[in-house]
Amino acid sequence: MTFYSFARSVVAGVIKPWYRIEVIGLENFPKDGGVLLCTNHIHNFDPLVVGITAPRPVHFMAKEEIFKVPVLGNVVRKCNAFPVKRGMGDREALRSGLKVLKDGYVFGLFPEGTRSRTGEIGKGLSGAGFFALRTDANVLPCAIIGPYKSFGKLKVVYGKPIAMDDMRSKKASVEEVTELIMSEIHKLLKEHR
C-alpha cells in the first residue's frame, strides 16, 4: 500500500461520516489519461474531500508555506502535492502541473485561486485555461456543495468532461477557456443545490 492510499483511507474514515458525503457523477471520471480536475473552493478541507472521493489519485498545488512546516510538509509532499508561490507567476509550479497532466495523471485545481468566503463561485484565474490549452488532458468540472457542517450533508458532483476541441481549433484565449470551465462548475452547483 502506498502512503497516498494509506493517508486516503485514514482521512476517508474520519471525513466521510463526519460530513455525510454524497458523491454524484463518478461515471463521468475518465478511467485513464491526464485529467484536469477543476473544482470550486469553499473550505480548507476541499483538497481532502476531492482526494477521498475521486476514483484516482489526485495531485494538487499547495501554497509553498505548507512545505516549510516540519512533518506536515513531508506528509503533503507524499500525498502528491507540489509547492506554488502565490501572488506571482510560478514557472516551476506551472511546469510541474503540465508534467502531471502529460504523464497521464489527475491534477486537481481550484481555478478561483482562493476560498470563497460566501460559498458562491468567484471568477476563475487564467491558470485553468492555461493547463487546459497546453495539454490534451480531459477537463473535468467538479462542484463541492456545502456547507461543511458536522453531520450535515456535503455533495461532491463530478460533471462530464468539457469538450475542448472547438476551443483549441478556434485558438481561444486562456481567459475564454477558464470562463467556460467556471460556467460548467456553476451549472453543476445550480443543478445539484
In this prediction, residues 115-138 reach a mean pLDDT of: 88
3-state DSSP call for residue 41? coil
Neighbour-count burial of 116, counting CB atoms closer than 10 A to its CB (0-12 exposed, 13-18 middle, 19+ buried): middle
Question: The domain 3-192: what is its CATH number?
Answer: 3.40.1130.10
| Model pLDDT for residues 142-161, shown as the tens digit of each residue | 999 988 999 899 999 999 99
- The percentage of the chain sitting over the pLDDT mark of 90, rounded to a whole number, equals 74
**Residue 162 DSSP one-character state:** B
The identity of residue 12, as a single letter, is: A
| Model pLDDT for residues 174-191, shown as the tens digit of each residue | 999 999 999 999 999 999
> Residue 99 — pLDDT band, cuts 50, 70, 90?
very high
